[in-house]
Structure 1
Amino acid sequence: MNNNKNVCELPSSAVDVLVVGNGPVGATIAALLGRYGVTTLVLDKLHDIVLMPRAIALDNEALRILQLAGLSEDAFEKIVIPEVKMHSPVLGQFGRANTQGCIDGHPKLVTFYQPDLERAMRGQVSRLKSVTSLGGFELESLVEEADGVVATVRDENGHSHAVRAQYLIGADGASSRVRALIGQEFEGQTYAEDWLIVDAKNRHQSAIDHIEFICNPQRPTPHMPAPGGRERWEFMLQPGESREELESPESIARLIAPWVNPQELEIERKAVYRFHARCCNRFSKGRTFLVGDAAHITPPFVGQGLVAGLRDGANLAWKLAWVLRGHAAPAILDTYDVERRPHAQAMINLAKMMGRLVMPKNKIAAFFIHGFMRTLGLTASTRRYFEQLDIKPKNTFKHGLFVPHRRGDKLVRGSLFPQAWIRTLQKQIKLSDDALGDNLTLVGFGVDPLSLLTADQIVAWEKMGGHFLEVRPRGQRSGGRCDFIEDMNHEILPLAAKGTLVAVRPDRIIMHHAPGKEAGRLLRECQSLLMSDEVTPDRVSSTINEPIRLRA
């Protein structure tokens, strides 16, 4: 990787994938593509990481994707959040979410410092030979042709350069130039309220250890800790208040006085934002794809903005790699939009609902809404629905690149394969995703998959980018030929009968599963999913020099 801000030379030959935008989502996609061996060029207007915190929360799924991209658990600092509380000035605490514990080997909820994450991810990318990353380039126009995309970019000296790629990814944020050039419009709403974000530092001994929402209709205020002795407050501006007025030191000191002695306050960042709830009507067009804030913008009330972008990257990167390596037909790229857009929209809808709880319009609305929430908490089933985060939309697809789910199966096709602690043949204790690796993996539950396949079937699976793995109970040994792991805490094996084969995609989504005696059918149906070319992307050559005008 080349990340030297003084170097402005672009690769002379074509690349497989051009990524526009080197924020946390763009860098994560570059890391994933690099792990899959895809020749990738990442371009950004800026050379360096923006040293200001923006996103602040990650859930267990996001942490699992960062693990997939190659980041170790200690690659950047995190604070584990045990609970989220919602307070009413009239009714007191009316809601709570229990975020203690882990799912799939990672904490349910953490806060982090975004520059630390970006620095760690860029460091991971720098170790990948197939990825080049450059700053100082701005996208001007796109030409889509039958066999690729030609992007015209301008360097800092005003010179234009042409970059040819087989596919292009727009990871260039909410004001995406890529989105404008391909004419994908945002749909949704912009909230009328502006919010002042205040990040304070040197709060090592004083910061709270959880997240709280002060749901006061006069001044709603989310409040949370962050690594490095940091703390964040978000204050909604009242009608008639200006940005300049509220950003003044006097106003900030007054707002934070209930928590911090103004004389002890050290401000790291202050900024006014308007929150958005918007989503494109399609995440791709031809050979160009949108990810993260370029495709969807989520209000911050459930901490899912960056998480959604990371999900995009995990879903798209392996599909591009499989097409480029000849393991799959280009038609599978259509499933990126089919799988990701409904879930992204569901998260936006949840954030909008939480926004109504956080910022009721007046005291009367607050009394009834918060009172209703408190009443729901009196029964065990509804309390669990909110406290145990059952309200959060599950990352389970209804349609996409998998065999349809059968009712009653514990392993749900189109959902994430569970992750657990395992032991390898080399006696190493690690998380199971590390054993799955970067492949399409056929996992045998208590059986060696190779023992159930003919030589031709084994070759056919490997041609699809396939790998083989056997899982057995702790303490058992395998006499088989494929890679082998022990399920240390018996968390994976109870989910299916002994002898079951499970096809797990590189993004850890369950593609298919079947009894071992039906191994041949499983392989044929997976091959049909990957190699079908019934649906092909629109490949009509087009030139776009200026953004298509968006509807007001």
Structure 2
Amino acid sequence: MTPPPVLIVGAGPVGLTAANLLAARGVPLVLVERNPATSDEAKAISLDDESLRTLQAAGLAETVLEIVVPGTGTRYYDRKGRPLFHARGPEPYRLGYPFKNQFAQPELEKVLLDALRGRPGVDVRFATELVDVKDSGHGATATLRSADGDVSLDVSWVLGCDGGRSTIRELRRIDMTGTSHRDVWLVADTTGDAHDERYGMHHGRPDRPTVIVPGRDGRCRYEFRLHPGEGDGGTRPDFATIERLVRPYRSITPDQVERCTNYTFNAVVADRWRDGRCFLLGDAAHMMPPFAGQGLNSGVRDAANLVWKIAEVWHGRADEALLDTYEPERRPHATAMVAFSERLGRVVMTTSPARGVLRDATVRALLATPWGRRYLREMRFRPRAVHEAGLVAGGHRLTGTQLPQPRVLVPPSLHPRPLDEVLGDGLALLGVNVPAAAWDRVARDLPLDGLTLVDVALDERLPRPNPGRRAVADADGRLQAALASARGRFVLVKPDRYIAAVFSPLQASVAAPLLALCARDAADAERRAG
């Protein structure tokens, strides 16, 4: 019997990303949005390399690249407007894409929606809101309300991607813990702008903290910390205020203000991310200050983590217990990113002259040392996304980290290709410089059906195809750098490209419980592993 569709609530970037990922995996879905169309508000503006890699999995990266500025990070300025340092990220194209990419959210939502409507098994309903949801055995029954009245819909799972005022969270009585900030910021998306920098600019002036993010085709975003009495959160600023604030950077006319608002922000995390058949993603699960540019990107990470698991369970290829790994894998990093965004705002966007002096002196002292320069310019101060619980096992240094996406040589043509094109869309097992006998040993100890098996050749050697396995070799030195510590071992990679386990041929049992969760018949998998 075919399970009912998955219900996704909210057609913002996270909901649209989750929907495209599900549809790409052959899962039917219903996407509902309370508003009559996608948003035209000034919201997210930065996609990082990991988000683009996720969109690659849905076949959308190249399309999205048409509407973004391939960025080079963020340049920070001191209290007097002088450059301090340029944060470019750990390594250019480490995950296959530029580290930070500016975009306009209405354009992104249109691209994602157009792609979604072209996929089979998709039902998109605008001006439709969820008013109730109740678990019912092996699924849930949702009540949807539109101008035509209320209808009931049987679904298998519900993904709450419905933002900070989440209906799912309210219906399930899930509280959020954290802080609501009273600072008011004015944000204005403008046109006809002369800025052509491929990086964001954070001006740490205590008298007027400012963020400037140039976009494509003369677009540019300005964000200004307002003084008391200059505006209230949730209101639209008048043009006179916008003109006065942008005057140091450009002249502007009313028709060049594309969208604008005054906003405040929260730093909160939902107390739980799953309740029965319902899950929370994106702002429904966590909200953070904008200073790290990670609000939307954290939501895309949620979708990348959860959707492949939902798909595996929906298709009957995995045990439902696999879904219990979502929150343990995602909550720690999202919580750390919320706290980091708060700290970054207090330091970079301080309104205290004394704190500004101390910040600038500290940064310059760090820049005087090789370690300090790497720390700042490679953004080593940003929390790393590492899975320390969930679908992970063993203590190897690579376990829980994300596998980079270098270009690899693939036989027979040996044309360089992105690694993810070789790994496929399921679990992958990489044998890093292991002999054929090691593969035979692991095949006796583990259920490998359904996994993509890949021989990885290091040390500038040619890849050798073997029956039932793919083969890759290093094209530019990055594969060697990424997997050198796993030489002679196997690396189990999850569909979201995080590493589940690293083990030698004699330690294959460490991966048995993980594959049991991902097996069509968990009991059979455990029996084979034993």
TM-score (norm 2): 0.89
- In structure 2, what is the equivalent of residue 432 of structure 1? 419
Contact 1:195–1:273 (CA under 8 A) maintained in structure 2: yes
| Counterpart in the other structure of 1:118 | 109
Q: Give the alignment of 1:255-274 within 5 angstroms.
A: 255-262=245-252, 266-274=256-264
Q: 1:493/1:386 Cα in 2 relative to 1: closer, same or farther (>3 Å)?
A: closer
CA-CA distance at 1:208 after TM superposition? 3.6
**1:312-357 superposed Cα distances (whole Å, 9 cap, x missing partner):** 0011011112222233222221111111111001111111011102
Q: Deviations over 1:372-429 (max 9, x none)?
A: 33333333223321221111111112211111323xx4xx111112211123336353
The amino acid across from 1:131 in the alignment is V
CA distance in 2: counterparts of 1:70 and 1:479, whole angstroms? 26
Structure 2 residue 392 is the aligned partner of structure 1 residue 402: yes
- C-alpha distance in 2 between matches for 1:456 and 1:97: 45
1:469 to 447, 450, 454: 454
Cα distance in 2, alignment partners of residues 294 and 263 from structure 1: 36
Question: Can you list the C-alpha shifts for 1:347-372, whole angstroms capped at 9, x where unaligned?
Answer: 11111011102332432332233333
The counterpart of 2:184, out of the listed 189, 194, 197, is: 194
In the alignment, structure 1 residue 486 sits paired with structure 2 residue 473 = yes
Structure 1 residues 460 and 404: CA distance shift in structure 2, 3 A: closer
Residue deviations 1:162-201 (CA, integer Å, cap 9, x gap)? 1111211100111110111111111111111111101111
Shift of 1:471: 2.6
Please report how far the alpha carbon of residue 238 of structure 1 lies from its aligned counterpart in structure 2 after TM superposition.
0.7
Which piece of structure 1 moves more, 347-356 or 50-59? 50-59
CA distance in 1, matches of 2:457, 2:235: 64
The residue that corresponds to 1:500 in the other structure is: 489
Give distance in 2, aligned partners of 1:457 and 1:123: 46
Which of the residues 228, 232, 243 maps onto 1:253?
A: 243
Which amino acid in 1 is paired with 2:354? Answer: I
Letter in 2 for 1:328: A
Paired residues of 1:472 and 1:487 also in contact (CA < 8 A) = yes
The CA deviation at 1:90 is 4.0
Q: Distance in 2 between matches of 1:245 and 1:459?
A: 59
1:17-96 equivalences in 2 (<5 Å):
17-75=6-64, 76-90=66-80, 92-96=82-86
Where does residue 7 of structure 1 map in the other structure?
Answer: none
Which stretch of structure 1 is more off in the superposition, 72-81 or 32-41? 72-81
**Residue aligning to 1:417:** 403
Residue identity opposite 1:514 in structure 2: F
Q: Which residue of 1 aligns with 2:210?
A: 221
- Which moved further from structure 2: 383-392 or 344-353? 383-392
Alpha-carbon contact 2:394-2:502 (below 8 Å) kept: no
Whether the 8 Å contact between 2:433 and 2:488 is mirrored in structure 1 is yes
Contact 2:187–2:222 (CA under 8 A) maintained in structure 1:
yes
For 1:502 and 1:186, the matched residues in 2 are separated by 37
C-alpha offsets along residues 473-522 of structure 1, whole Å, 9 cap, x if unaligned? 56624241122333312322452455432211111111122224555x35
Residue in structure 2 matched with residue 383 of structure 1 by the alignment:
373
- Change in Cα spacing, 1:111 to 1:219, as seen in structure 2 (3 Å) is same
Question: Does the aligned pair in 1 maintain the 2:267–2:289 contact within 8 Å?
Answer: yes
Letter in 2 for 1:418: P
Paired AA for residue 500 in structure 2: M
How far residue 451 of structure 1 moved from its aligned partner, in angstroms, is 7.3
Specify the SS of the correspondent of 1:152.
strand
Is 1:168–2:158 an aligned residue pair? yes
1:138 offset after TM fit, Å? Answer: 0.5
- The CA distance in 2 between the partners of 1:440 and 1:29, in whole Å, is 19
Give the C-alpha shift of residue 15 in structure 1. Answer: 2.2
2:515 corresponds in structure 1 to 527
CA distance, structure 2, for counterparts of residue 360 and residue 455 of structure 1: 55
Q: Which residue of 1 aligns with 2:526?
A: none
Matched AA of 2:515: Q
Aligned residues: 513
| Secondary structure in 2 matching 1:262 | coil
Partner Cα separation in structure 2 for residue 72 and residue 242 of structure 1 = 38
Q: Cα distance, 1:263 vs. partner?
A: 5.3
Work out which of the residue numbers 255, 269, 272 in structure 2 matches 1:282: 272
Q: Deviations over 1:245-289 (max 9, x none)?
A: 982222211111111123597111111111111111111111110
Q: Secondary structure at the match of 1:423?
A: strand
* Mapped pair 1:293 → 2:283: yes
Q: Are residues 1:452 and 2:439 paired?
A: yes
User: Identity, % of aligned pairs?
Assistant: 30
Q: For the Cα contact (< 8 Å) 1:448–1:469, is it kept in 2?
A: no
Among 134, 142, 146, the residue aligned to 1:143: 134
SS for the counterpart of 1:151 is strand
Counterpart for residue 332 of structure 1: 322
Instruction: Determine if contact 2:34/2:128 at 8 Å carries over to the other structure.
Output: yes
Contiguous gaps of at least 5 residues in structure 1 = 1-12, 535-552
CA RMSD of aligned residues (A): 2.8
Cα pair distance change 1:356/1:459, threshold 3 Å = closer
Q: Using a 3 Å threshold, how does the CA distance of structure 1 residues 168 and 290 change in structure 2: closer, same or farther?
A: same
Match of 1:548 in 2: none
Letter in 2 for 1:118: E
Report SS of the residue matched to 2:182: strand
Matched letter for residue 116 of structure 1: E
CA distance in 2 between partners of 1:271 and 1:140 (Å): 29
Residues of 1 paired with 2:249 and 2:463: CA distance? 57
1:527 counterpart letter in structure 2 = L
Distance 2:102 2:160 in 1: 26
CA contact (8 A) 1:440 1:466 kept: yes
**Paired amino acid for 2:353:** K
Amino acid at match of 1:110: N
Assess, with a 3 A threshold, how the Cα gap between structure 1 residues 245 and 60 changes in structure 2: closer, same or farther. closer
Stretch deviating more after TM superposition (92-101 or 143-152): 92-101
Q: Which stretch of structure 1 is more off in the superposition, 67-76 or 180-189?
A: 67-76
Structure 2 unpaired stretches of 5+: 524-530
- How many Å separate the matches in 2 of 1:449 and 1:137? 56
Partner residue of 1:178? 168
What CA deviation, in whole Å up to 9, does each residue of 1:123-152 have, x standing for no partner? Answer: 332343233222221010111123211110
Contact 1:451 1:480 (C-alpha < 8 Å) held by counterparts: no
Distance in 2 of aligned mates of 1:488 and 1:379: 33
TM-score of the superposition, structure 1-length normalised? 0.86
* Distance in 2 (alpha carbons) for counterparts of 1:404 and 1:16: 36
Q: Is the 8 A contact 2:455 2:463 kept in 1?
A: no
Cα gap change, 1:262 to 1:20, in 2 (>3 Å): closer
| 2:200 is the counterpart of 1:211 | yes
Distance 1:528 1:245 in 2: 52
Q: 1:246 to 1:366 in 2, by over 3 A?
A: farther
Distance 1:70 1:292 in 2: 21
Q: Using the TM superposition, give the Cα deviation of residue 456 of structure 1 relative to its aligned residue in structure 2, in angstroms.
A: 7.4
Q: Which has the higher strand share?
A: 1
User: Which range moved further: 34-43 or 21-30?
Assistant: 34-43
Amino acid at match of 1:291: L
